[in-house]
Structure 1
């Protein structure tokens, strides 16, 4: 991990919050508008992108160009730009564009900064509810309109007492879906469709597992930073680092993670 001065850490935190504030304004300017439409980025399935996705990332890139011009950027909508500082900002301007289109408040803005080892600080921001989940540099907290609270994952429990969440019931390929549903059958409660908000709920201590497949780096790096700061663990289904995406297993504790991974691999 890159050794950063206290001043650099403070600057990174300040920039991250400025990015999140700008993304809030950009996304809320189109959320639940009657004329909101979406383009489809893929031919074989519906993978939407809206004017708000692009505007949100543009606004964040403008801020980074002004405040952190030597850092790299990896964004969902406008790709990668190489920096020289050893740090890269990983941006998902709207994680959960399908939810955004439907008007549900479970999408979010994902912002993280990474070095060669992976994400070192991140934010999960839900603009409509006004909730912001923050993790890294010794910080683990959420701030919202009702309270400010520290983030801490749930204590370990048997799989039969666990709550598991995923965005799609299909969970990737047929084989991946079968593995997920084998695990879900071992858990007390399964819920779907909350996108990045599920990772925030895990960090806040409300659920035990989030399991997904087919993710990209910008989908998962901010959640990794937030969940690890709160005491949880995020790997791929083989227990390896997951900051490049792929199959994701996020758990509230090492014991729950171990039990879940045994079922997924079984």
Structure 2
């Protein structure tokens, strides 16, 4: 859909208000001794906390006031149909395992999409106070060191790349084996950063993220932020990845192609 300057400005302002209220909600429970979690699944620990629910409830309340005609897809409370052609996609805490553990690598993911794809996204890390945004002509971050433009690292071969992942925590045995075809070819591999790893691609700190088993709310904000910074995000076959699944995010098309060839054997 065509996004006018006035609509773009309202989308951006609304997204930042969502991030602001989610920041307060998540920090109200973070690193508190009373924090507990339930699990969504029986065969593995897939946690959800009161902070997840509170964060999404407060974001939905903002949307009900500011953009009632838009649809919503949220991790905790599902889908709400809209009539405007726009849908807000919300992950109130991406990385709840990290949140429970007290690490500052979880985040709040906010994006808005139309029928063609993601228009704008925010990756927010409330405890550090860093916010990464991309789309609608913006590619920037702000945090304790001030504001900076987002731009991916210059192209480099796989042998010089820094790779992040949540393997082996997620993924099937076959997906893990595919990841292990790539990892030894890189310069450095780090684990378990959740959405913060995608922010680091956009900030020009790392080169690759490889994951599997993701949902739309896990990946749509990272897609917007990374693409605005000059990177690429697809599935493992190079197809659009906005619905989640197996994700390959890279700082350059050349590096993306090299990693994708190894993932596919």
Q: TM-score, normalised by structure 1?
A: 0.99
Give the aligned partner of residue 242 of structure 1.
241
Residue in 2 that maps onto 1:67 = 66
Residues 8-19 of structure 1 mapped to structure 2, 5 A cutoff: 8-19=7-18
Structure 2 equivalent of residue 84 of structure 1: 83
Q: Over residues 42-77 of structure 1, what are the superposed CA-to-partner deviations in whole Å (9 max), with x where a residue is unaligned?
A: 000000000000000000000000100000000000
Native 8 Å contact 1:171 1:180 kept in 2? no
Aligned to 2:168: 169
Task: Tell me how far apart the structure 2 counterparts of residues 117 and 47 of structure 1 sit (CA, whole Å).
Answer: 31
Aligned to 1:182: 181
Three-state SS of the structure 1 residue aligned to 2:241 is coil
**Corresponding position of 2:114:** 115
- Residue equivalent to 1:132: 131
- Look up the SS of the partner of 1:176 in the other structure: helix
Shift in Å, 1:146: 1.4
Q: How does 1:1-266 map to 2 (within 5 A)?
A: 2-266=1-265
| Alpha-carbon distance in structure 2 between the residues aligned to 1:127 and 1:222 | 16
Q: CA deviation at 1:170?
A: 4.4
Q: Distance in 2 between matches of 1:52 and 1:147?
A: 27
On the 8 A contact 2:167/2:176 being kept in 1, the answer is: no
Please, what TM-score do these two structures have when normalized by structure 2? 0.99
Aligned mates of 1:148, 1:104 — CA distance in 2: 23
The CA distance in 2 between the partners of 1:69 and 1:21, in whole Å, is: 19
RMSD over aligned CA atoms reads 0.6
Task: Summarize deviations over 1:65-109 as a string: whole Å, max 9, x none.
Answer: 010000000000000011010000000000000000000000000
Instruction: Name the SS for the 2:65 alignment partner.
Output: helix
CA contact 1:112–1:123 (8 Å) conserved in 2: yes
Q: Look up the SS of the partner of 2:205 in the other structure.
A: coil
Aligned residues: 265
Moved over 3 A (4+): none
Secondary structure of 1:30's counterpart equals coil
